[in-house]
Structure 1
Amino acid sequence: MSVAARIDELEREVARERDGFEPPADPDSRATEYVREGVGPAVVLFADCRTGGPDLPSAERERLEAVFNEWLELYALCYGVEMDCSFAIRTGAEVLVDTHSARDVAQLLTTVPDRR
C-alpha cells in the first residue's frame, strides 16, 4: 500500500472515530485503542519513511502530521481533556525510539493522563 493510501486510511478512521465520539466508560481502554489504531501507525509510517522506506513528500508529511495530531486529540478526549494538538510527528518518532511505546508517545506529548 502506498504512503498516500495509508494516510488516506488513517484519515478515514480518525474522522469516523471523531464523528461518533462519546465519552467512554473506560477511558484507558478507549485511549489504548486510539494509540493502537492511529497514533502508533502514524508514527511508525513516518519512521519507516525516514529510515529508508518509501519517500514522504512534503504534502503527505503535512497530512500525516495532521492526522497524528487528530488521533492525539481523540486520545486526550477519552480523559475529558480537549486539546488542539500541533505536535511535530518527528517528535513523536523520537519519543517512540526513546521509550519503545506508542502509548508513551501519546501520554508524554499530551501529558494526559498525569503520570503516576
Structure 2
Amino acid sequence: MVQIVGYKEFKREDGENFYSLIVQGGVEAVVSKVTGRTYLTANKASVSCTFDEPTCKSLIGTNLEGKITKVEVEPYSYIDEETGEEIERNHRNVFMTDEEVTMNEHVIQEEI
C-alpha cells in the first residue's frame, strides 16, 4: 500500500499546467553501503494524473493499493535538491498496482 503525500505542478509546451501525484511506500530498513549501518527510508514515486490542483490537494493522505518498484532504465544523472550533489542512477521508482506487480512477477518467472 502507498500513500499520496503531495503533488507537483508541471507546464506543457502550450503553457497549460498539469499535475503529478507523489506517492510514498511504507518504511523500509536499509543497510548503508558506505557505513554498514541500518537506516530507515521510504521510497517515493511520481504518478501522472488528470486532476486539477484542488483535487490533488484533497487527495493528500489517501492510501492506494499497490507498491513502489525499482525499474531499470538507461543511466541518467540528477541533482539532489538537498545536497546539491550530482547523482547517477540506472533505475527509477515506479508505482505499480497490485495487478501490475502480480503480472510482472509472473512474466519474469516465465522468462527465467
Bin the TM-score by the shorter chain.
under 0.3
Q: Which structure would you say has the larger RCO, counting Cα contacts within 8 Å and 6 or more residues apart?
A: 1
Q: Which has the larger radius of gyration?
A: 2
TM-score, normalising length: structure 1: 0.27
Greater per-residue helix proportion:
1
